[in-house]
Amino acid sequence: MSIYDLTHFTLQDMTACGTAIRQLGNGQSSMEVTASRLVDYCYEHLVDPQTGEPACALIRRLKTHSYADLPDELQVLVTQSLGDRAPTPDLKCLTLLATQGIEPQWQHRQTSQGHQVIPLTSESAIAQIPMISQLIGQFGLKVSTEIKPDPDLISDLEQSTFNVFHVPEALGSPFIPAQSKFVQPFKVRSVLGIGGMLPSGNLFALILFSRVTIPERTATLFKTLALNAKMSLLPFEPNQTFSEQPQLAL
């Protein structure tokens, strides 16, 4: 099995890893299944060379969806989070498609607490979630574009926007939440996200919460992997996102 070292990620590693990621959607039934395969692949193949353990404490695959396109159980969560406000059909929601990590509750999207779906109600609301706000900005997108995509801009952004979200030092960073409950106890050192925009105008992202320090060189090489990750999802755009049955990693 090929393994990769995030602290010394090479051009050859990027090429091999990108080829594998691009093929993860082959023969699959939905975007959710493919996303699960991606987080599992990264968790298993990104390894701390000092310990032989997975380099990442947690890996998440996210995608925005309109409220009307969400499964019933996620619509219920959105409605509960909004309280007295009624969601509109086109309300954009940042949705957890897949997750993998060292804690059992991090290994299935259905057991993730508080992160299964986040309604993006306004620019001010997103500003209250610093990591998401910073992620969108570092991807070269505007928050307003994510809340209400402009059809005239989607094509250009979809073709040109592939970037990275990189926090080399997670401890004490204002962009990484839950410092005392997550960053410190699970020894998260760096955070790296890749993503961009799909033809539907929805954002996709893969976020690695790493227990090893990720240097700038690795972050730069991962920018290319965003295109490979996108290619693995394209066969399922726009109507084959969720599985009919929950996909639980075994």
Integer Cα distance of 162 and 218 in angstroms: 15
Question: Is 9 inside a domain boundary?
Answer: no
Q: What is the pLDDT of residue 249?
A: 38
13 band by pLDDT with thresholds 50, 70 and 90 = very high
Which residue's structure tokens are 């990484």?
176
Question: Is 26 inside a domain boundary?
Answer: no
Q: What is the pLDDT of residue 148?
A: 64
Strands (E), 142-185: 162-167
Q: In the numeric block, which tokens belong to residue 74? A: 């996620």
Question: Is 1 inside a domain boundary?
Answer: no
Cis peptide before 238 (omega within 30 of 0): yes
Q: How far is CA 230 from CA 20, 122, 136, in A?
A: 13, 26, 16
CATH number at residue 148: 3.30.450.40
Count: domains in the chain: 1
List 65's β-bridge partners, or say none.
93
Q: What is the pLDDT of residue 147?
A: 63
Question: Is 117 inside a domain boundary?
Answer: yes
Average pLDDT over residues 73-83: 93
pLDDT digits (tens, 9 = 90+) for 197-250: 888 888 899 999 999 999 999 999 998 898 899 889 989 987 788 986 444 433
Q: What is the pLDDT of residue 244?
A: 64
Q: Which of 145, 167, 168, 169 is nearest to 157 (CA)?
A: 145
Strands (E), the chain: 56-66, 92-101, 117-119, 162-167, 190-197, 203-210
Q: What is the pLDDT of residue 12?
A: 96
pLDDT digits (tens, 9 = 90+) for 116-137: 999 988 888 888 888 888 887 7
Q: In the numeric block, which tokens belong to residue 247? A: 């996909």
pLDDT digits (tens, 9 = 90+) for 106-116: 999 988 887 89
Helices 11-22 and 216-233: angle between axes, nearest 10 degrees: 20
Question: Is 50 inside a domain boundary?
Answer: yes
Q: Which of 216, 194, 59 is nearest to 140 (CA)?
A: 194
Residue 49: which residues within 8 A CB-CB, separation 6 or more?
Answer: 5, 7
pTM of the complete model: 0.89
Q: What is the pLDDT of residue 72?
A: 93
CB-facing half-sphere around the CA of 179: CA atoms within 13 A: 8
Question: Is 19 inside a domain boundary?
Answer: no
pLDDT digits (tens, 9 = 90+) for 158-197: 454 557 889 999 999 999 989 999 999 999 999 999 988 8
Question: Is 41 inside a domain boundary?
Answer: yes
Question: Is 15 inside a domain boundary?
Answer: no
The rounded Cα 3 to chain-centroid distance in angstroms is 21
pLDDT digits (tens, 9 = 90+) for 142-167: 666 666 655 444 444 445 455 788 99
Structural domain of 171: 33-236
What 3-state DSSP class applies to 162? strand
Strands (E), 182-227: 190-197, 203-210
